[in-house]
């Protein structure tokens, strides 16, 4: 009898477990602005290896592409300059002790160095940050949280997600469009105004890049948040910039809705002749462009379909809003 009572109590505790309550606003400010993005990596990222003394050597088999160097001896490093100074200061018979992170795991290793032409060589190609462009998706007027891209930023050589130490979004102006063609995705070229910062980046996740918006938002146009169940096949709009910093709207047709994919939730086709004539289809830099249907913001553009670039994917806006709120 006691066992039965305990089982019932356990089942009740599962049944009534608290569900997450999201505090994002019911109406949010839509973006469409072309933005510059810069992220400083949390640690110095290993992106490859080079030859020392004529031979290709990884230096230490414990180091892999995608590892982050976070300490030299007991000195924390967050830039290539930090790394260089710390190695010079902490040399120990042509070796140096490093602390590296691989995902969430941390380990200490010993890296042998080679002295070539008066300089110590590590055999490692490294990077400490990344810059690019994208499209601002939304700003929540209640929390000032912003979201952009709808997908993660990865370092192209290693394919590794950039872990954020600090970062910012800032003004940019589109200067040129390289058109997409089936089999090859085009791109926006833009002038980056690094000194005109509009937000501080706090995280880079599978669902986008998020942070706190620092500019005034009183003039932003608000749209009601559309839930996945409200989205339907048919006409919709995307907002994006193709020249300078002028936001325009363009027609698309939603052809499929997929609630089972993490980020490729909305499949669409560009049906706007003007957009197709200028871009050929979805292009790089368009990621994050808000998708509007029935006067609601329902998602953001994330990917081109490479074999048919007039088609693309989008993520649900609710997924981005929920991710933006997570600590």
Query: Is position 272 annotated as part of the catalytic site?
Result: yes
Q: Closest by alpha carbon to 48, among 36, 27, 63, 34?
A: 63
Catalytic site residue from 140, 151, 158, 172: 151
Q: Is 149 helix (H, G, I), strand (E, B) or coil?
A: coil
Q: Closest by alpha carbon to 70, among 163, 190, 152?
A: 163
Query: Is position 151 annotated as part of the catalytic site?
Result: yes
Catalytic site residue from 78, 158, 287, 310: 287
User: Which residues, in sequence order, are bridge partners of residue 136?
Assistant: 148
Helical H segments across the chain, by residue range:
2-15, 80-89, 273-279, 317-325
Handedness of CA 277, 281, 287, 288 (dihedral sign): positive
Tokens of 327: 């600590």
- Rounded to whole angstroms, the maximal C-alpha distance in the chain is 82
User: How many CA atoms lie within 13 Å of 195's alpha carbon, on the beta-carbon side?
Assistant: 0
Catalytic positions, written as ranges: 151, 272, 287
């Amino acid at each position: 009898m006691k066992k039965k009572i305990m089982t019932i109590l356990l089942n009740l505790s599962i049944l009534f477990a608290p569900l997450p309550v999201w505090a994002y606003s019911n109406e949010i400010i839509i973006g469409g602005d072309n933005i510059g993005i810069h992220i400083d990596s949390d640690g110095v990222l290993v992106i490859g290896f080079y030859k020392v003394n004529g031979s290709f050597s990884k230096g230490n088999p414990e180091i892999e592409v995608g590892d982050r160097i976070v300490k030299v001896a007991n000195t924390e490093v967050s830039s290539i300059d930090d790394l260089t100074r710390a190695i010079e200061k902490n040399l120990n018979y042509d070796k140096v002790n490093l602390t590296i992170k691989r995902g969430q795991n941390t380990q200490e290793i010993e890296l042998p160095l080679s002295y070539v032409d008066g300089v110590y060589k590590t055999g490692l190609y490294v990077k400490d940050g990344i810059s690019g462009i994208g499209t601002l998706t939304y700003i929540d007027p209640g929390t000032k949280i912003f979201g952009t891209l709808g997908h993660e930023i990865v370092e192209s050589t290693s394919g590794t997600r950039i872990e954020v130490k600090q970062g910012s979004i800032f003004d940019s102006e589109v200067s040129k469009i390289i058109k997409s063609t089936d089999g090859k995705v085009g791109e926006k070229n833009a002038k980056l105004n690094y000194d005109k910062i509009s937000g501080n980046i706090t995280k880079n996740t599978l669902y986008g890049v998020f942070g706190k918006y620092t500019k005034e938002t009183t003039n932003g146009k608000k749209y009601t948040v559309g839930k996945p169940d409200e989205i339907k096949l048919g006409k919709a709009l995307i907002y994006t910039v193709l020249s300078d910093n002028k936001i325009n709207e363009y027609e698309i047709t939603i052809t499929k809705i997929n609630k089972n994919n993490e980020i490729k939730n909305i499949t669409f086709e560009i049906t706007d002749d003007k957009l197709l004539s200028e871009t050929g289809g979805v292009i790089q830099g368009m990621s994050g462009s808000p998708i509007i249907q029935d006067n609601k913001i329902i998602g953001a553009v994330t990917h081109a379909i490479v074999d048919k670039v007039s088609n693309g994917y989008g993520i649900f806006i609710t997924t981005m809003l929920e991710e933006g709120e997570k600590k």
